Structure 1
Amino acid sequence: MIRTGDEYRDSIRQGREIWMDGERVDDVTVHPAFKPIVDLRARIYDMAHEEATQDVMSYVDPETGDRNCIANKLPFTRQDWQDKRQAVDRVLDEARGVITRVGDETIGEMWSLYDGQDVLNEVNPDFSENIRRHIRRAVTDDPFHISANTDPKGDRSKRPQDQDPDMLLHVVRETDNGIVVRGAKYETAAPYANQAFTKPTIANWGDSALSDYAVGFVMDMNSPGLRYICRTGFAGRRPAVDYPLANRVDEVEALVIFDDVEVPWENILFYRHTAAATFIRSTLHRYSAFPYVQRSVRMADLMIGAALWNVRQTGLERNPAVQEKLAQLACYREGINAHLTAAIANAEDSPGGLLMPNQSLLYAGRVWAQTQLPQMMHHARELCGGQICITPDAASFAEPGPGEWLDKYYSINDDWNSDDRRSLLAFARDLLNSDYAGHRLTFQLFAQAPPFAHYQAVYRNFDFDGPLDLVKKAAELSDNVLGSGAAR
């Protein structure tokens, strides 16, 4: 059943070996770099118990009578997707920012394997049962589920076998209980998650049908042999009053070291079979792309709000050039929203009997959201003006001497005093211009895959037959014209 926030906190206090800034982290629930995001994840659990948000965040299973998490529910209807979308929006409202790795976006990767049970059965029918069991467990036990994907990779011009083999996670031996793996993965939220769907990265496995690098499993994050080496967190480095987003919604990435970690057979979803590894790579974002792209709508809303408040308080809202920039931001936002709405309206049956968002529309929406993001951030910067990079910190505003001068020059009128103006500029700086803002922009290349992979997904899922047939008829081509190969 749905856990409480305190139960979640207890589940990650298991003596993990976590490192940040060269120091061992004893308890992520109280460490200043982790506490804000852990508290927010705990808050999501508690929202499922509170009367005001319970029905948005959870549902009652008609067979068991238990209350389960909306995010983990298998999608069979359009209403299921509408419910998931509403739940994500409510979480982002609570966060007052954008958070990406909270579970709803990674459970969809497991659903892709659910669709691929025929592929798994070619290897071992036990693997197919394993995926069904883990999906049931995700629904009933409500773990904080994340994804382990990217390896250090090493020299990418070489096969993993032709260099240090640990550059990609691989199986080193079998035991009676399971397999032993060695290597490393970059994972967002790993130090404070419960489990991770660990899978192979994009790699050159060669032409062999079997490979020790083609392995996928569910990893208990409390397992012996795991070590977490984290990047420096943004939370706690600077005052929250000056950097509100960095201190509220920073999600910490870690290089997770697998130092001969044993994975039980019941947690293995595929093993050595390169066809299964290729399948999961090609369908990985079939479902999970939806909540990722949905978060881009919220990012657009934050940019529009920050920019519009800035031009309003300086009296520039009626300027045609300003309105043009605001309209461009609005078109960006509505373009993402339209793709998501249409992807649900035109949802498709999946091979496993689920309902998946229309794949062509979803992937095209992802391309629109990600390729336009840098330019949209710059439009928002232009509208906010240069003061987001030169405004002093809150301590200077509070100090009697400099504070008097800052109050004079940052107060605009009776509606906009210096404190509100400083708060708005500080928020815009953290959204668009800070170390945290730069990290969030680059993070898209890690969290949602690089642009070429986005375009490849569109290429594989767009129906090229329609345009081909249209031109064949319009140009009066003969039936002998077949082309050099199938577009899909």
Structure 2
Amino acid sequence: MIRTGEQYRESIRDGREVYIDGKRVEDVTRHPMLKPLVDIRARIYDMAHDPATQETMTYQDEGGERHAIALKLPHSQDDWHDKRRATDAVLDDVGGIVTRVGDETIGEMWSLYDGQDVLNEVDPRFSSNIRRHIQRAIELDPFHVSANTDPKGDRSKRPQDQDPDMLLRVVKETDAGIVVRGAKYETAAAYANQAFTKPTIANWGEAEYSDYAVGFVCDLGSPNLKMICRTGFAGRGSIDDYPLSNRFDEVDALVIFDDVLIPWENVLFYRHTRAAQFIRATLHRYSAFAFVQRNLKLADAMIGTALHNVRQTGLDGQQAVQEKLARLACYREGVNAHLSASIALAEPSPGGLLMPNQSLLYTGRVLACSQLHEMIHITRELCGGQICVTPNAADFANPATAPWLDKFYSVNEHWVADDRRRLLAYARDLLNSDYAGHRLTFQLFAQSPPFAHLQAVYRNFDFAGPLDFVRRAAGLSARVKGQ
């Protein structure tokens, strides 16, 4: 059943072992660096009950029970349109961009749903486990995240030739389940309910890697699980000066598996290198849509910030400024076109679901990620140097300095100093702050590295059409057709 925000908060007060800045966190729902995102996730749950947003956020099953749109298995184009609207509703409601809140990570489970035949090669229980976990997610509405990246250690060596725990591995089998040891980096783990934990990119061609070829759903309140979080950006400055850092920082953690028991019913594949290869190849078959949708919203934030600034300063009539705004608009609409077309030309998946057109989705991801840093810099140019030299809000309030700042930051009767300061603070946090730099680098973590993006395009683009066109146009021999 659909949870409330308070039910979610209570579910993560489970005694989990979480550390930040050298201290153990007593209550993850109250820690100043975790609370902002806990509150946002709670708001997402409450939006399912709010009359103003309930129809956008939920659907009713045949029995009349309400479930989250984000967790619904996609069978039609309407399902994808509904998911897109629900995500936009969340981002608009909270007034910022959050990535690891569940709608993007559940798609990785759907990729396993498509791979049930592969899972059945080893043990039919694995196939039934994935179906049961997907149904459980729909019915119980947990906050579900994803664990992928390991510390890895010396990548020139095999895990067996160094400390073998550098990649998460199975160390024991018991009647109750498997025991795993190692570590994973997980965003939002400290305040989520469960994580789909899966193998990192590795050479799965050798039999000895089988102990590392494991995937499972981990209860993040499990015994022997420790979470060591990076320090958060919330609290480093006032919310007036850093409105994004203090509200939208999604804290990452190194999650230590110190001989953690994973019950057999939570194991999705084990000692199966082909299953590991399959999930690595199809991991973002669905979830890439939600990630790229965030880039679209980020483009809106950049366009709005830049346009407000040039209108405040009276530069919006200059051709050079208009050209830069047009480049931002082209980026935005390019991302939008790929998302829209991937739904319009959606294709059946091997498991009977409807997946976004894979070629369009993955090429859209390459566009969104490869040009993002350029779009950020164009926005910086349009905002000008004041975003890096403007004093903090306290100086605008100090009687000794306020008159001078009011004088020099008031543009005209329509744009007074306070509005000017607010826009510049927002722009600085969006483009220049530690938080902004973290979010840009996060693209290499959350959406996988650029080489993986291009590999996904290579695997999913239909090369047959161009090959056949040139074969016929150039009068090549018919035997070339199959090459």
Q: Distance in 1 between matches of 2:309 and 2:153?
A: 45
> What's the secondary structure of 1:216's corresponding residue?
strand
| 1:105–1:291 Cα contact (<8 Å) kept | yes
Q: Distance in 2 between matches of 1:180 and 1:231?
A: 26
| 1:307–1:383 Cα contact (<8 Å) kept | yes
In structure 2, the partner of 1:128 is 127
Q: Distance in 2 between matches of 1:210 and 1:5?
A: 42
Structure 1 residue 97 displacement after superposition: 1.1
User: Which residue identity does 1:217 align to in structure 2?
Assistant: F
| 1:59–1:70 Cα contact (<8 Å) kept | yes
Q: Distance in 1 between matches of 2:36 and 2:235?
A: 9
Deviations 1:253-307 (A, max 9, x none): 0000000000000000000100000000000000000000001000000000000
Q: Does 1:324 align with 2:323?
A: yes
Q: Does 1:409 align with 2:432?
A: no
Q: Distance in 2 between matches of 1:435 and 1:342?
A: 35
Q: Does 1:20 align with 2:20?
A: yes
In structure 1, the partner of 2:299 is 300
> What's the secondary structure of 1:481's corresponding residue?
helix
In structure 1, the partner of 2:264 is 265
User: Which residue identity does 2:78 align to in structure 1?
Assistant: Q
| 2:205–2:273 Cα contact (<8 Å) kept | no
Q: Distance in 2 between matches of 1:209 and 1:106?
A: 29
Q: Distance in 2 between matches of 1:30 and 1:94?
A: 22
**Gapped regions of structure 2 (runs ≥ 5):** none
In structure 2, the partner of 1:160 is 159
Q: Does 1:95 align with 2:100?
A: no
Structure 1 residue 236 displacement after superposition: 1.5
Structure 1 residue 204 displacement after superposition: 2.1
In structure 2, the partner of 1:80 is 79
Q: Distance in 1 between matches of 2:256 and 2:269?
A: 21
| 1:329–1:376 Cα contact (<8 Å) kept | yes
User: Which residue identity does 1:261 align to in structure 2?
Assistant: V
In structure 2, the partner of 1:173 is 172
> What's the secondary structure of 2:207's corresponding residue?
coil
Q: Does 1:184 align with 2:183?
A: yes
> What's the secondary structure of 2:210's corresponding residue?
strand
In structure 1, the partner of 2:246 is 247
Q: Distance in 1 between matches of 2:379 and 2:466?
A: 37
Structural mapping, 1:184-223, within 5 Å: 184-208=183-207, 211-223=210-222
> What's the secondary structure of 2:155's corresponding residue?
coil
In structure 2, the partner of 1:229 is 228
CA 1:352–1:376 in structure 2 vs 1: closer, same or farther (change >3 Å)?
same
Deviations 1:350-380 (A, max 9, x none): 0000000000000000000000000000000
Q: Number of paired residues?
A: 483
In structure 1, the partner of 2:58 is 58
User: Which residue identity does 2:188 align to in structure 1?
Assistant: A
In structure 2, the partner of 1:36 is 36
In structure 1, the partner of 2:284 is 285
> What's the secondary structure of 1:305's corresponding residue?
helix
> What's the secondary structure of 1:229's corresponding residue?
strand
Q: TM-score, normalised by structure 1?
A: 0.98
Q: Does 1:10 align with 2:40?
A: no
| 2:58–2:66 Cα contact (<8 Å) kept | yes
In structure 1, the partner of 2:255 is 256
Q: What do you get for the CA RMSD once the two structures are aligned?
A: 0.9
Q: Distance in 1 between matches of 2:227 and 2:106?
A: 22
User: Which residue identity does 2:6 align to in structure 1?
Assistant: D
| 2:204–2:277 Cα contact (<8 Å) kept | no
Identity over aligned pairs, percent: 73
| 1:171–1:213 Cα contact (<8 Å) kept | yes
| 1:160–1:204 Cα contact (<8 Å) kept | no
In structure 2, the partner of 1:357 is 356
Q: Distance in 2 between matches of 1:229 and 1:205?
A: 29
Q: Distance in 2 between matches of 1:184 and 1:210?
A: 17
Q: Distance in 2 between matches of 1:248 and 1:299?
A: 16
> What's the secondary structure of 2:338's corresponding residue?
helix
User: Which residue identity does 1:5 align to in structure 2?
Assistant: G
Q: Distance in 2 between matches of 1:309 and 1:132?
A: 48
| 2:233–2:245 Cα contact (<8 Å) kept | yes
| 2:388–2:428 Cα contact (<8 Å) kept | yes
Higher mean displacement: 196-205 or 306-315: 196-205
Q: Distance in 2 between matches of 1:158 and 1:464?
A: 36
**Gapped regions of structure 1 (runs ≥ 5):** none
In structure 2, the partner of 1:344 is 343
Q: Distance in 2 between matches of 1:352 and 1:255?
A: 33
Structure 1 residue 165 displacement after superposition: 0.4
Structure 1 residue 480 displacement after superposition: 2.0
In structure 2, the partner of 1:49 is 49
User: Which residue identity does 2:133 align to in structure 1?
Assistant: H
Structure 1 residue 98 displacement after superposition: 0.8
> What's the secondary structure of 1:179's corresponding residue?
strand
